[in-house]
Amino acid sequence: MAAFTSVSLQYSSTSSLQSLVPSLEGTREPNSWGVRERSCKTTTGQRLHSQKIARGLTIQSAATKTAKTPAEEDWKIKRELLLQKRVRSVDAKEAFRLLKENNFVILDVRPEAEFKEAHPPDAINVQIYRLIKEWTAWDIARRAAFAFFGIFAGTEENPEFIQSVEAKLNKNAKIIVACSSGGTMKPTQNLPEGQQSRSLIAAYLLVLNGYTNVFHLEGGLYSWFKEDLPSVSEE
């Protein structure tokens, strides 16, 4: 009983820290924070014994379906709206063609420092996340939570994102939203809801606020640079 209590307390502490870092991209494998408990029958009777496999902090039964985290539920809602609004994903070469032939513009939502290192020509930079600026008790706690996971430059959602985009692009602009990795809305066996990313979250905010021609760069700017497509630097 004492061991179980210890596990529960550690889980509570780690969950609290995870809740303070909502802007981390991607998700962990369901069992990467878990202690799974399995039961099996002996060959000499019906006596059951338990074998604990230490893999983290959550106790999970094989008969119980893993519940989605709040972040996963939030992404599911965002993805449904993106599909409903028919936001298209395009690869790097198709994006380049759209820029040349159909007057599209790339909205690069990476941090400003990454944008300055290299970006497609004529791309517009409005970061979807920014470094935590304030020093309230809450912000200090969030910085500590990021540091717990080895991240010493914690970020938060940019509250001025839509306002900044509206100052540069009208609601009828043809936009391809891009970040580093791109993410995907395509389901896979391991990721039935696809994989969220900064660019997909930005696309969600754009269509939610009335933008009507929003595309998404599949594979992100990593794929753009890998295809050796034109890029410029501001450094």
Give the active site residues. 179
Query: CB-based contacts of 121: which residues, under 8 Å, 6+ apart?
Result: 230, 231, 232
CA distance 97 to 126: 22
The residues facing 193 across adjacent strands are: none
Nearest to 106, CA basis, from 205, 176, 180: 176
Give me the sheet containing 34-41, strands edge to edge: 48-55, 34-41, 58-60
The residues facing 90 across adjacent strands are: 217
Q: Is 202 exposed, middle or buried (0-12, 13-18, 19+ CB in 10 A)?
A: buried
Residue 193 tokens read as 């809801």
DSSP H helical ranges for the chain? 2-19, 70-84, 92-101, 112-117, 137-148, 161-166, 198-208, 220-226
CA distance 9 to 65: 23
